[in-house]
Copies of this chain bind each other. A is one copy, B any other.
Amino acid sequence: MHTKDASLSHFFNPRSVMIIGASTDPTKLGYGLARNLVHSGYPGQIYFVNPKGGTLLGQPVYADVTQVPGPVDLAVLLLPAHLTPQILRVCGEQGVHAAIIAAGGFRETGPQGAALEKECLQIAREYDMRLLGPNCIGLLDTHLPLDTTFLSPPPPPPGDVAFISHSGAICAALVDWARGQGIGISRLVSLGNQVDVNETDVLAPIAADPHTRVLNLYLEGISDGRRFVEQARRVTGQKPVIALKVGRFASRRRAAASHTGALAGQESAFNAAFYRAGVIRAETTEEMFDWARALAWCPLPQGRSVAVLTNSGGPGVTAADALEAQGLHLANLQEDTQQALRAFLPPVASVRNPVDMVASASPEQYAQSLRHLLADPGVHSALVILVAPPMFASGAVAKALIPIIQTADKPVILAVMGHMMIQEAVAHLRAVNVPEYRFPEKAASALAVLSRRAEFLARAKETPVVQDDVDDARVRALLAQAGPGFLPQAVSDHILAAYGIPPVPTALANDAQAAARLAHEMGFPVALKVASPDIPHKSDVGGVLLNVESTEAVVQGFETVMANALQAQPQAEIQGVYVQRMILSGQEVIIGAVQDPQFGALAMFGSGGVEVEGIKDVAFALAPLTDKEATHMLASTWAGRKLDGYRNLPPADRTAVTEALSRLAQLAADFPQIAEVEINPLRVLPAGEGAFAIDVRMRVDKMEE
């Protein structure tokens, strides 16, 4: 009761519930609340409170909270906002542990409402009460059972999918829709304004519910990014979590000085956070529930090879297309399996994957074929298509398949095509929790999500790589000396070096002669780059000369670069010209990191050069990185795949890239004041020869200390 988690138990396992604002008028929400609680069959003590008194649904209505005769674990307040704080205080006095403020009229209406909300929170803290809401529809648990919502009947059917929602308004519609899909709900929580309990708080308590097999989240945002990731990761190690995050287009890209900053939109940060947390991101509500069913009901596959069994060629082809599009593939059936199928299927049937039994397929043929397919060691899962057969009842096919599916340790998902003609099959399948969809595309998508889940569990125990050979004290000192803004190249080079990222030999020349001498020492060719904190995009102003091959050319080039820079930005502070050894061979990539306001340090990898924002061949992950995340970033970009070699490009030093990327991510995670850092390009030499930071930009924010 004194830890945060324990205190949420009064929401989910209250011994008694009090409804303040219970109404005898059936057109009022306060009646709906009372009705749902009573009709839910809630086994604990129920108290109704309303100044009007009387009786409601056979129970006395108390005029006042103080008159309630027994102890109350959970109070539901449906009152005008301005009355809520004082009643909440009375609840506190009476020893109430948890309260749901269902009514609106708080923060969502303006500053006055926000003040009321804050007052409620203070009172709750004073009395050690936890608050759900305000402006929410409450919660329900179909198994306890408990229903503290005012949703119109019928209530959701009991099931194994929990639904946690920032939007209260959609709860009724989604629960109703899910019913039509044969999906039952275990727990529903509407979070409302989240003055106290938020999306992160409820994760563990809901995941602890034995009736919940999958958690569906409808998110409008996340309050504390890193805490969410931490909590969610703990939960996803046990149960699958699917999130639909709305508001994708609402927040545009932020203004940023680096390519990394410009590309790192809020959505990239959410994707990176969900990836780390093992939260599966759905694009649509349908997808969320479609996936939930498969995750709740199926064993996980050992791999991505799928057998397709069908009684119609067209949908078999569609299934093959959809599986490929999802990154799964058709299993190669063993010769044994094909022979076994050939033994009882008609000659026109295809016994290669997709296995097409043709329209005459009987329930027995379905069952026998599926049994053989699941026995094939090269098959990790099965997608069974049932187009209502002309000669058999679709229900009979479903009945024949069910025992095989139920005893299999491989997932089997059905595409049952049609509407009226397949009702019986659908009813049989739903009754025993076999996922069925109307089209092969959705079945393929469900199989893919099972694979993703299996693959997440394989990497779930991975932790971020943290190198201990870094000199963070030196970086702290360097940053303390440097003011906010872009760091001079020499400083950023030192910082990178302190984290083990080797820069290309570079030195600052104040005049042309010095430049020539430095170039001579390094060896030709060299690059000349204007040194100015005021000119972030040097090449845009003619401030960069490449391939300078001789002493004379360096002397001339120095003057050119200075002149160009001055002409373009007469006010710029120009410190001189960097002379840099040119590493001409090798592949070019970009690595970078930014601080996301929600999730903290975010690392980027991708195709470098000046067109990085146009080509958008980039991947993000939360910093510091796990090994698998670094690998995944390379695998999901062309820039990364190309490192393995492409045409006349030899395989490049991938190890050097992932190491530089991980170290840069660690730097950004260790020093949040580094607002943006970007190495573009990082030039990658052939395997074993290393990767070098050719150009670095690092911007530091004021530290809040």
Which residues on A are within 8 Å of B, measured CB to CB?
27, 29, 32, 104, 108-109, 150-152, 154, 165-167, 169-170, 172-174, 176-181, 218, 220, 246-250, 283-286, 311-315, 317-318, 320-321, 324-325, 348, 359, 387-388, 390-391, 417-422, 438-439, 441, 537, 539-541, 607, 610-611, 614-617, 638, 641-642, 646-648
Taking A250-B320, A348-B109 as contacts, is the C-beta distance between A176 and B646 under 8 angstroms? no
Measured in the bound complex, the distance between the Cα atoms of B312 and A16 in whole Å is: 32
Top 9 closest A-B pairs, CB basis? Answer: A180-B419, A167-B314, A169-B312, A173-B417, A176-B418, A249-B324, A540-B648, A173-B418, A248-B321
Contact in complex: A172, B387 (CB < 8 Å): yes
Chain B nearest CB from A128 CB (Å) reads 32
Cβ-defined partner of A317 (8 Å) among B177, B220, B610: B220
Measured in the bound complex, the distance between the Cα atoms of B220 and A419 in whole Å is: 24
Question: Which residue of chain B is the closest to A165 with respect to CB atoms?
Answer: B314
Taking A169-B359, A170-B417, A417-B170 as contacts, is the C-beta distance between A611 and B177 under 8 angstroms? no
Measured in the bound complex, the distance between the Cα atoms of B388 and A230 in whole Å is: 36
Question: Which residue of chain B is the closest to A415 with respect to CB atoms?
Answer: B173
Contact in complex: A177, B249 (CB < 8 Å): no
Inside 8 A of A166's CB, which chain B residues have their CB? Answer: 314
Measured in the bound complex, the distance between the Cα atoms of B642 and A616 in whole Å is: 13
Question: Which residue of chain B is the closest to A172 with respect to CB atoms?
Answer: B388
Contact in complex: A418, B617 (CB < 8 Å): no
Inside 8 A of A387's CB, which chain B residues have their CB? Answer: 169-170, 172-173
Chain B nearest CB from A203 CB (Å) reads 20
Measured in the bound complex, the distance between the Cα atoms of B171 and A390 in whole Å is: 12
Cβ-defined partner of A614 (8 Å) among B173, B642, B648: B642
Pick from A167, A359, A539 the residue with the most CB of B within 10 Å: A167
Contact in complex: A390, B172 (CB < 8 Å): yes
Measured in the bound complex, the distance between the Cα atoms of B173 and A425 in whole Å is: 13
Inside 8 A of A220's CB, which chain B residues have their CB? Answer: 314, 317
Measured in the bound complex, the distance between the Cα atoms of B314 and A177 in whole Å is: 16
Contact in complex: B174, A417 (CB < 8 Å): yes
Inside 8 A of A285's CB, which chain B residues have their CB? Answer: 318, 439, 441
Measured in the bound complex, the distance between the Cα atoms of B444 and A284 in whole Å is: 12
Measured in the bound complex, the distance between the Cα atoms of B540 and A313 in whole Å is: 44
Number of copies: 2
Contact in complex: A321, B388 (CB < 8 Å): no
Taking A320-B249, A390-B152, A419-B180 as contacts, is the C-beta distance between A646 and B172 under 8 angstroms? no
Contact in complex: A314, B420 (CB < 8 Å): no
Taking A154-B420, A321-B249 as contacts, is the C-beta distance between A169 and B313 under 8 angstroms? yes
Measured in the bound complex, the distance between the Cα atoms of B104 and A330 in whole Å is: 27
Taking A179-B420, A321-B249, A419-B177 as contacts, is the C-beta distance between A388 and B152 under 8 angstroms? yes
Inside 8 A of A348's CB, which chain B residues have their CB? Answer: 104, 108-109
Taking A29-B390, A642-B611 as contacts, is the C-beta distance between A325 and B420 under 8 angstroms? no
Chain B nearest CB from A46 CB (Å) reads 22
Chain B nearest CB from A315 CB (Å) reads 6
Contact in complex: A246, B318 (CB < 8 Å): yes
Contact in complex: B246, A176 (CB < 8 Å): no
Contact in complex: A152, B421 (CB < 8 Å): yes
Contact in complex: B647, A325 (CB < 8 Å): no
Cβ-defined partner of A246 (8 Å) among B108, B165, B317: B317
Inside 8 A of A284's CB, which chain B residues have their CB? Answer: 439, 441
Inside 8 A of A638's CB, which chain B residues have their CB? Answer: 611, 614-616
Contact in complex: B314, A421 (CB < 8 Å): no
Contact in complex: A179, B419 (CB < 8 Å): yes
Question: Which residue of chain B is the closest to A417 with respect to CB atoms?
Answer: B173
Measured in the bound complex, the distance between the Cα atoms of B540 and A617 in whole Å is: 24
Inside 8 A of A248's CB, which chain B residues have their CB? Answer: 321, 324-325
Contact in complex: B439, A286 (CB < 8 Å): yes
Measured in the bound complex, the distance between the Cα atoms of B313 and A615 in whole Å is: 35
